[in-house]
Amino acid sequence: MYELKITNLKKTYLLPGRGLSVRKALPQKKQALAGVSLDLAPGLYGLLGPNGAGKSTLIHIITGTLASDSGEVLWCGKPASGIAFRRILGYMPQQQGLYDSYTGRRFLAYMAALKEIPRKTVASEVARVAAAVNLTAELDKRLSAYSGGMKQRLLLASALLGDPKLLILDEPTAGLDPKERVRLRELLADMAKDRIILVATHVVSDVETVATKVILLRAGKIVDAAPVPELIARYAPDQGLEDVYLNVFGERDGK
């Protein structure tokens, strides 16, 4: 069974000082993660928290784009790093620059090459992931003609290349219309049967009905991590996950 084990991750950033002059300004410290630990088995996990909670920092450390100050990330008992880990990882960032002159097909083929997918299987793999996100008919259009929602689906398709066993998605439904959001939820719920999927989002409805567990993160610390019914029972009896969000974080950016 696949397992992602995160142990006591800590990360502090140095911010520019605010002294009376450049000479007197001293750097300020911001603790983005304050000892985060998680054990994830196959399933879909929602990562919820207000802006500045540490969601992006956690994602960047797991994916290897940022080093932690301390702690460790293990995939199936081994350090989550190197070529072997990257081959089982699918990552969809919140934002990514795209070459407008590329077609969707060329972009996915390029990403397949970066993932070292064998050349003889690239065409079929591109077709597979494009179909999964409902982009087959748009593959030969230039990205300059893509809407924001289409670009978002293209980024998701690139994350699905190579059939990753660990899939990390940062705000995957941004710009999607309601119909595509439903399609995405159904796709992820089906895929989560045999892999680990971590979805960071502000849209509570994206994970409420499909998450194995929801992780609540605030100020770099995990407030709770449990199935939705348990969170509702603890924080918002007889209500919903959005009410849990509002009661725990006291904000309205969970809509």
Domain ranges of the chain: 4-94+162-249
Question: Can you tell me the mean pLDDT for 194-200?
Answer: 97
Calculate the alpha carbon distances from 105 to 139, 163, 168, 243 in Å: 5, 18, 22, 42
**What pLDDT does residue 137 have?**
97
pTM attached to this predicted model: 0.91
Of the chain, the percentage scoring pLDDT greater than 70 comes to 93
CA atoms within 13 A on the CB side of 52: 5
What CATH architecture does domain 4-94+162-249 belong to?
3-Layer(aba) Sandwich (3.40)
**What pLDDT does residue 26 have?**
67
Question: Can you tell me the mean pLDDT for 227-254?
Answer: 89
Q: Is the pLDDT of residue 15 over 90?
A: no
Of the chain, the percentage scoring pLDDT greater than 90 comes to 80
Mean pLDDT for the chain overall: 92
**What pLDDT does residue 254 have?**
42
**What pLDDT does residue 203 have?**
87
CA–chain centroid gap for 54, Å, is: 12
Q: Is the pLDDT of residue 175 over 90?
A: no
Q: Is the pLDDT of residue 138 over 60?
A: yes
